[in-house]
């Protein structure tokens, strides 16, 4: 499999695309005026404690106060896992006006503020450093038990060499598989240097204030997305290419040879067809090669994916047609979730399958596709209603939320009232006004489509209304009005 990472860097925006065999699998966008803050460490001030919600609001210098749950409050005198399962009452842990050191685990999304934790963690290439947790963990994606034991011993050896006390811990990331002692030791030392700087700033920065800022996207890509199977990393900015070279030589030396500067006149995202894929990822409908299609709807509560056979009629029988459509849909759904960065609760409405073996194979295909997903996912079995429920960890806005805003005409509903509906609303409003006010005449301001309908199909109804209220009704088009907007002016 040919896997490439494309980095399109401009002064206002950085975009990363992960392309496998010429097909875009993942896209990440960071804008300079609205950078994501996941991973940032702040010193914040508790502004409100909510015992009824076991949570508190913390001011960290953002537009909206951030949110911390009792389970995410650091309790050094207790075992952290037990404390998270059964946290103490929030008002015994925090009080208003208190200064605390917190880390952002989820960006502000919509009307919700950022999600915080006091269980700090600082990632590097192979390790995640946890200053307050006495634990050495290993990524679940490293499955070979002998390799897990080797890495655990390696980290413990490095901790002894560096003289690290028992009040800190590490998690070995998936990228650590096969790493040697020198590489782990270098990461351990790097994380210690970062943590020492964080501790120094804790003493000097006043609340609310920023203590540690996460790396920008073009450098974070090297730490989080580079894997052995990556064949090439292309950057279209010479200045950032040089910065990336320096960073990779220091922290990811095995990638330096794969790093290339792209000087071409044609934009790099156009060359690989990424721009077209981003546009398609903003649409509700996703076509399947077989002729079927998906309908993806994202709401505040959850995301729903509906699978339809469309124009696919199959070759053998109905059950086989449904199975093949669902199998292809499972593959495409896995890619679309990554590409659109859809998180939270996701309901998959596959076409009903009678054969339990077909159900099992479709679920297995979905699980296989999601194995490549860096976000944590959990999938349920097929329910009695034929639905598959799943969750995908959400840490930042989806692609649609980042690039789009609610339609000003329909206010995000996805529908607007028909011209006929608006006409009848105008008739009712005219009747109310005729009873309430003594006007000589009325002027109706509305959109072109509504006025056209009033002058054509509804002209007789309008004439009957004029006779009924014994008042003249004039019509005028306002090109600035949407189809739902209208005004009645008394003359």
**Residue 249 is part of a domain; what is its CATH number?**
3.30.420.60
Domain C-terminal end among 366, 398, 430: 398
Looking at residue 133, its pLDDT comes to 82
Per-residue pLDDT in tens (0 to 9) along the chain, 491 residues: 788 999 999 889 999 999 988 899 999 999 888 888 899 999 999 999 999 889 999 999 888 899 999 999 877 545 455 555 667 888 889 989 999 999 999 988 877 889 999 999 998 888 899 988 888 888 888 888 888 888 888 888 888 888 876 678 899 888 788 888 888 888 888 888 888 888 899 988 888 999 998 888 888 888 777 777 788 999 998 998 998 888 888 777 777 888 999 998 889 999 999 999 999 999 999 999 888 899 999 988 899 999 988 766 656 678 888 888 999 999 999 999 999 999 999 999 998 888 889 999 999 999 999 988 888 899 998 888 889 999 998 878 899 988 988 888 888 888 899 999 999 999 999 999 998 888 889 999 999 999 999 999 999 999 999 999 998 999 999 999 999 999 999 98
Judge whether 57 lies within some domain.
yes
Domain co-membership, 208 together with 220:
no
How far is C-alpha 121 from the geometric centre of its chain's CA atoms? Answer: 21
Which of 389, 373, 393 has the alpha carbon at shortest distance from 381?
A: 389
Q: Are residues 340 and 478 in the same domain?
A: no
pLDDT for res 453: 94
pLDDT at residue number 84: 57
Asked if residue 407 belongs to a domain, the reply is: no
Cα-Cα-Cα-Cα dihedral of 219, 220, 222, 223, to 10°?
A: 130
CB 339 within 8 A of CB 18: no
* Domain contains 206: yes
Are 137 and 229 in a shared domain? no
The two structure tokens encoding residue 194: 């970062």
In a domain, 414, yes or no: no
Q: What is the pLDDT of residue 427?
A: 93
Residue 460's domain spans which residues? Answer: 419-490
Q: Do residues 21 and 46 both lie within one domain?
A: no
C-alpha to C-alpha distance for 227 and 251, rounded to whole angstroms: 14
3-class SS of residue 57: strand
Residue that is written with structure tokens 């008739």 in the block? 427
> Residues 231, 195: one domain?
no
Distance CA 17, CA 307 (A): 26
| Predicted local distance difference test score (pLDDT) of residue 77 | 47
Q: Are residues 222 and 312 in the same domain?
A: no
Residue 30's φ and ψ, nearest 5 degrees, are -135, 125
Q: What angle do CA 331, 337, 338 make, to 5 degrees?
A: 95
110 falls within a domain:
yes
Q: Are residues 8 and 79 in the same domain?
A: no
Question: How many domains does the chain contain in total?
Answer: 4
**Residue closest to 282 by CA, chosen among 402, 394, 462, 396:** 402
- What's the CATH number where 468 sits? 3.40.1260.20
Asked which of 275, 301, 316 is the last residue of a domain, the reply is 275
* Last residue of one domain, picked from the residues 176, 192, 212: 212
CATH number at residue 314: 3.40.630
Single out the residue of 213, 264, 277, 266 nearest to residue 238, CA to CA.
Answer: 264
Query: Which residues on adjacent β-strands are paired with residue 169?
Result: 130
405: left (phi over 0), alpha (psi -120 to 50) or beta: beta
Q: Does some domain include residue 404?
A: no
70/198 same-domain check: yes
Residues 78 and 171 in one domain: yes
- Burial letters for 179-200: b for 16+ Cβ neighbours within 10 Å, e otherwise? beeebbbbbbebbbeebeebee
- pTM of the shown model: 0.78
Residue 179 lies in a domain: yes
Q: In this structure, how many other beta carbons lie within 10 angstroms of the beta carbon of residue 362?
A: 26
Crossing angle between the packed helical segments 217-224 and 238-251, to the nearest 10 degrees = 30
- Do 389 and 322 belong to one domain? yes
Reference 346, options 360, 354, 357, 334; nearest CA is 334
**Is the separation of the CB atoms in 215 and 248 below 8 Å?**
no
pLDDT at residue 312, rounded to an integer: 63
Q: Is residue 308 part of a domain?
A: yes
Contact 313, 322 (CB under 8 A): no
The predicted pLDDT at position 33 comes to 81
The whole-number pLDDT of residue 316 equals: 66
**Domain identity same for 237 and 319:** no
451 C-beta neighbours (distance < 10 Å), count: 20
Same domain membership, residue 346 and residue 453: no
CA of 24: how far to CAs of 63, 273, 332, 338, 396, in Å? 34, 8, 12, 10, 19
């Amino acid at each position: 499999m040919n896997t490439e990472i494309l980095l399109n860097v401009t002064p206002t925006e950085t975009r990363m695309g992960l392309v496998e065999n010429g097909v875009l699998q993942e896209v990440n966008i960071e804008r300079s005026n609205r950078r994501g803050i996941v991973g940032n460490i702040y010193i914040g001030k508790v502004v409100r404690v909510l015992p009824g919600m076991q949570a508190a609001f913390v001011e960290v210098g953002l537009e909206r106060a951030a949110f911390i749950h009792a389970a995410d409050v650091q309790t050094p005198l207790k075992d952290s896992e037990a404390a998270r399962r059964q946290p103490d009452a929030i008002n015994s842990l925090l009080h208003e006006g208190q200064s605390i050191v917190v880390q952002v685990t989820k960006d502000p999304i919509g009307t919700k503020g950022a999600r915080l934790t006091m269980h700090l963690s600082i990632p590097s290439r192979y390790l995640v450093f946890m200053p307050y947790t006495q634990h050495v963990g290993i990524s679940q994606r490293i499955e070979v038990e002998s390799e897990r034991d080797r890495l655990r011993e390696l980290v413990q050896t490095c901790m002894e060499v560096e003289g690290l006390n028992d009040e800190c811990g590490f998690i070995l990331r998936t990228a650590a598989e096969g790493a040697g002692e020198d590489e782990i030791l270098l990461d351990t030392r790097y994380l210690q240097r970062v943590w020492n700087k964080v501790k120094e700033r804790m003493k000097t920065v006043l609340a609310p204030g920023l203590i540690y800022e996460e790396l920008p996207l073009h450098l974070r890509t090297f730490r989080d997305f580079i894997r052995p199977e990556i064949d090439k990393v292309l950057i279209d900015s010479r200045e950032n290419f040089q910065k990336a070279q320096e960073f990779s030589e220091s922290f990811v030396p095995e990638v330096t040879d794969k790093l290339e500067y792209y000087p071409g006149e044609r934009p790099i995202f156009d060359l690989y067809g990424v721009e077209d894929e981003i546009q398609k990822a903003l649409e509700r409908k996703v076509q399947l090669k077989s002729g079927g299609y998906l309908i993806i709807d994202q709401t505040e509560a959850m995301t729903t994916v509906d699978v339809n056979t469309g124009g696919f009629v199959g070759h053998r029988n109905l059950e086989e047609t449904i199975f093949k459509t669902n199998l292809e849909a499972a593959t495409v759904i896995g890619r679309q979730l990554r590409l659109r960065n859809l998180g939270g609760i996701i309901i998959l409405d596959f076409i009903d399958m009678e054969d339990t073996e077909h159900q099992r194979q479709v679920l297995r295909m979905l699980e296989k596709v999601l194995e490549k997903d860096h976000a944590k996912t959990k999938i349920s079995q097929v329910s009695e209603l034929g639905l598959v429920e799943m969750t995908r960890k959400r840490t930042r806005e989806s692609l649609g939320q980042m690039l789009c805003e609610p339609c000003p005409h329909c206010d995000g509903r996805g529908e607007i009232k028909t011209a006929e509906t608006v006409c009848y609303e105008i008739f009712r409003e005219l009747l109310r006004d005729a009873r309430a006010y003594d006007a000589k005449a009325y002027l109706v301001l509305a959109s072109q489509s509504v006025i056209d309908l009033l002058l054509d199909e509804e002209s007789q109804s309008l004439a009957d209304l004029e006779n009924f209220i014994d008042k003249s009704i004039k019509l005028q088009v306002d090109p600035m009005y949407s189809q739902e907007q209208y005004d009645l002016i008394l003359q």
